[in-house]
């Protein structure tokens, strides 16, 4: 593993970015941070005694920038429209940990190459709890092994496992495909759950049998147990986020001219759920939508 960079920039201090940046700070990294929410940025600067990245020239001696933002378009804006790319030194590296579009990531790399800035994609999996613990799984895509090694030095402070997925963009592709499989498993389990309810099966029994049988998946073992049967519906993953990721997978399949009827249906189900309840609603509430359509009521 290569030497830790003398200074790291971190852009995006939201639900995932804040605990990730906090792990870097606690483990001795010298940070410059920026967030679109000035209050959130100021709070982090005060709590961890790190540098304020409000002005682009704060990044003038940064060797590595980590981005954790909503999508690839915003990543591009944060780097190119803000003056940060102009301020970064030649030979610096951008590590995009966002859930972004693989093809946009490759376009960004082409643009940043004019500034002599390298790019790797390193989306994460594990949610906020693992971001807090520093035990995320990370999918690392890079066209250059030296860039991958530099990135891994930083990413190791926030992760339990780093998967080297291949060329630039493959990390983002793998993240989208993973979340498609997550979404498909949840939608299938939700449909089975509601059909069983309507037929008179006890909801808890449905989940217990699934989890002791071949139908179990991460959704039945975690989300259905803690959020659906309990009627809490707080899995901390919104319709907006999961439908975006599944949409990236669908767009990738379309670009590759691969027919994916199930992927398209899962994307539609999650997108429609977000339109009905709001993209900020928890995706586990898709069960409520299915129940309402089946005329199932709960006290």
Residues annotated catalytic, as ranges = 175
DSSP the chain: -PPPPS-EEEE--STTHHHHHHHHHHTT--EEEE-SSHHHHHHHHHHHT-EE-SSGGGGTT-SEEEE--SSHHHHHIIIIISSHHHHSPTT-EEEE-S---HHHHHHHHHHHHTTT-EEEE--EESHHHHHHHT-EEEEEE-S-HHHHHHHHHHHTTTEEEEEEEESTTHHHHHHHHHHHHHHHHHHHHHHHHHHHHHHT--HHHHHHHHHTSTT--HIIIIIIIIIITTT----S-BHHHHHHHHHHHHHHHHHTT---HHHHHHHHHHHHHHHHH-TTSBGGGHHHHHHHHTT----
Which tokens hold the place of 176? Answer: 């989208």
3-state secondary structure 182-248: HHHHHHHHHHHHHHHHHHCCCHHHHHHHHHCCCCCCHHHHHHHHHHHCCCCCCCCCEHHHHHHHHHH
Please state the φ and ψ torsions of residue 10, each to the nearest 5 degrees: -135, 120
Which tokens hold the place of 79? Answer: 């780097």
């Amino acid at each position: 593993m290569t030497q830790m960079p003398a200074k790291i920039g971190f852009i995006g201090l939201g639900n995932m970015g804040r605990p990730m940046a906090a792990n870097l700070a606690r483990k001795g990294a010298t940070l410059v941070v920026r967030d679109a929410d000035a209050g959130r940025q100021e709070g982090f600067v005060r709590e961890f005694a790190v540098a304020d990245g409000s002005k682009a020239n704060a990044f003038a001696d940064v060797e590595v920038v980590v981005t954790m933002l909503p999508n690839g378009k915003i990543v591009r804006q944060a780097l190119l429209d803000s003056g940060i790319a102009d301020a970064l030194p030649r030979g610096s590296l951008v590590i995009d940990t966002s859930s972004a579009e693989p093809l946009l990531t490759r376009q960004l790399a082409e643009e940043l190459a004019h500034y002599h800035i390298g790019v790797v994609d390193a989306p994460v999996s594990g949610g906020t709890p693992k971001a807090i613990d520093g035990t995320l799984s990370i999918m690392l895509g890079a066209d250059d092994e030296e860039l991958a090694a530099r990135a891994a030095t930083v990413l190791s402070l926030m992760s339990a496992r780093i998967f080297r997925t291949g060329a630039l963009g493959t990390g983002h592709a793998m993240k989208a495909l993973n979340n498609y499989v997550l979404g498909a498993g949840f939608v299938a389990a939700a449909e089975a759950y509601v059909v069983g309810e309507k037929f008179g099966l006890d909801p808890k029994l449905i989940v217990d049998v699934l989890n002791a049988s071949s139908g179990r998946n991460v959704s039945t073992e975690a989300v259905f147990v803690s959020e659906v049967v309990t009627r809490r519906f707080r899995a901390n993953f919104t319709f907006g986020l999961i439908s975006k990721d599944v949409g990236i997978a669908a767009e990738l399949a379309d670009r590759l001219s691969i027919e994916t009827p199930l992927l398209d249906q899962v994307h539609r189900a999650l997108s429609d759920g977000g339109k009905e309840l709001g993209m900020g609603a928890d995706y586990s509430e898709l069960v409520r939508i299915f129940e309402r359509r089946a005329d199932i009521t709960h006290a």
